[in-house]
Amino acid sequence: MAAGVAKAGDGSASVYGGELTFSVLITCFVAASGGLIFGYDIGISGGVSQMKPFLEAFFPKVLRRMADAKRNQYCMFDSHALTSFTSSLYLAGLVASLAAGRVTRSLGRRGTMLAGGALFFAGGAMTGGAVNLAMLIAGRMLLGFGVGFTNQATPLYLAEMAPARWRGSLTLGFQFFVSLGILIANLVNYGTARLTWGWRLSLGLAGAPALIMFVGAFFLTDTPSSFVMRGKEDLARAALVRVRGPSADVEAELRDIARAVEAARGREEGAFRRLFGGREYRPHLTFAFVLPLCHQLSGMMVLTFFSPLVFRIAGFGSNAALMGAVILASVKFGSLILSTLVIDRYGRKALVIAGAVIMVVCQVANAWIMGAQGGKSGETPLPRAYGVALLVLTCVQGAGFGMSWAPLIWVIPGEIFPLEIRSAGQSVSVSATLGLTFVQTQTFLALLCCFKYATFAYYASWVVAMTAFVLVFLPETKGVPLESMGSVWESHWYWRRFVGDGKRVQASPST
Contact (Cβ atoms closer than 8 angstroms) between residue 41 and residue 206? yes
Closest CA to 258 of 237, 281, 284: 237
Q: How far apart are CA 84 and CA 144, in angstroms?
A: 13
Q: How far apart are CA 413 and CA 141, in angstroms?
A: 25
According to the model, what pLDDT value does residue 362 have?
95
According to the model, what pLDDT value does residue 74 have?
75
Which value, to the nearest 10 degrees, does the dihedral of the CA atoms of residues 446, 451, 454, 455 take?
A: -20
> Residue 46 — φ and ψ, nearest 5°?
-65, -40
According to the model, what pLDDT value does residue 506 have?
39
According to the model, what pLDDT value does residue 199 have?
92
pTM: 0.73
Closest CA to 325 of 316, 334, 338: 316
> Residue 282 — φ and ψ, nearest 5°?
-60, -45
According to the model, what pLDDT value does residue 399 have?
92
User: To the nearest whole number, what is the mean pLDDT of the chain?
Assistant: 81
Closest CA to 331 of 403, 384, 388: 403
CA of residue 280 relative to chain centroid, distance = 26
Q: How far apart are CA 168 and CA 404, in angstroms?
A: 12
Q: What is the pLDDT of residues 200-253, one digit of tens each?
A: 999 999 888 888 888 888 888 888 888 888 888 888 888 888 877 777 778 888
Output the CA torsion sign for 53, 59, 61, 66: negative
Q: Which residues contact 385 (CB under 8 A, 6 or more apart)?
A: none
Closest CA to 109 of 39, 180, 162, 165: 162
Residue numbers in the chain where pLDDT is lower than 70:
1-19, 65-73, 101, 263-269, 375, 377-379, 500-511
Question: Where does residue 385 rank: exposed (0-12), middle (13-18), buried (19+ CB within 10 A)?
Answer: exposed
According to the model, what pLDDT value does residue 392 have?
92
Output the CA torsion sign for 417, 233, 115, 242: positive
Q: What is the pLDDT of residues 25-66, one digit of tens each?
A: 887 887 888 788 888 988 888 788 878 899 888 888 777 766
According to the model, what pLDDT value does residue 509 have?
37
How many other C-beta atoms are found inside a 10 Å radius of the C-beta of residue 238? 15
Domains detected in the chain: 18-220+280-497 (1.20.1250.20)
> Residue 507 — φ and ψ, nearest 5°?
-95, 145
> Residue 8 — φ and ψ, nearest 5°?
-95, 95
According to the model, what pLDDT value does residue 340 have?
79
